[in-house]
Amino acid sequence: MTEPVRPPADEPQPLRRSRILVVDDTEDIRYFLATLLQDRYEVIAAASGEACLQAAVADKRPEIILLDVVMPGMDGYEVMRQLARDARTADIPVIFLTALSSVEEEQRGLDLGATDYITKPISPPILLARVRLHLERSANAKRLKSLSEQLSRYLAPQVYQSLFDGSRRAEIQTQRKRLTVFFSDIKNFTMSTAQWQPDEVTFLLN
């Protein structure tokens, strides 16, 4: 079962609506985290690893997960392993919140795919800063992916790939395409140049 809490106050619009899933088997900690976060974000809470996995694929899925490690039944490491394996949840940032403070435990969590690892007792300013940072990074990554997909629809595959390779050839090809599009309304342009090679058209326009 997940427990909804209420929304925001003073965060910028895109992050105000972000949904955070808090996962901890201790009710007092769930309450503490919900109280800390609810003025800025929409908070839902889960008391077990199994409930976390269900909430992560719900219609209103979380934008970030705060996950305890030591829980009865499925522990946080196994939850992380399953989240990372599922294409529906693999891109959700996960921050471990745990009393396990050894370097080995932290490395294990990060190796499994966690975005961050914060040890208890939790410092509210640090937690808020980390949550905001990872929400911003996640939002930027989604915007970049969306722009990349849009760009791929308008460029030839080889030009699109070259752009991300950073090659000079891609820059030249892209400039040529822009020139052709820009001057394509010249009277009888299409009819006159239909049989020409791209270099010949470029020479004419320049």
Digit-coded pLDDT (tens) for 128-156:
999 999 999 998 988 887 877 777 776 66
Comparing CA positions, the residue from 27, 85, 31 lying closest to residue 57 is 85
State how far the Cα of 202 lies from the Cα of 205, in Å rounded to an integer. Answer: 5
pLDDT of residue 17: 78
pLDDT of residue 27: 97
Q: Taking 50 as the threshold, does the pLDDT of residue 32 lie above it?
A: yes
| 3-class DSSP string for 43-89 | EEEECCHHHHHHHHCCCCCCCEEEECCCCCCCCHHHHHHHHHHCCCC
Every domain of the chain with CATH number 3.40.50.2300 lies at 2-149
pLDDT of residue 148: 76
* 190's tokens: 């299409």
Q: Taking 60 as the threshold, does the pLDDT of residue 46 lie above it?
A: yes
* CATH architecture assignment, domain 2-149: 3-Layer(aba) Sandwich (3.40)
Stretch among 74-78, 94-98, 158-162, 168-172 having the lowest mean pLDDT: 168-172
Over residues 65-79, mean pLDDT: 98
Confidence of residue 12 (pLDDT cuts 50, 70, 90): very low
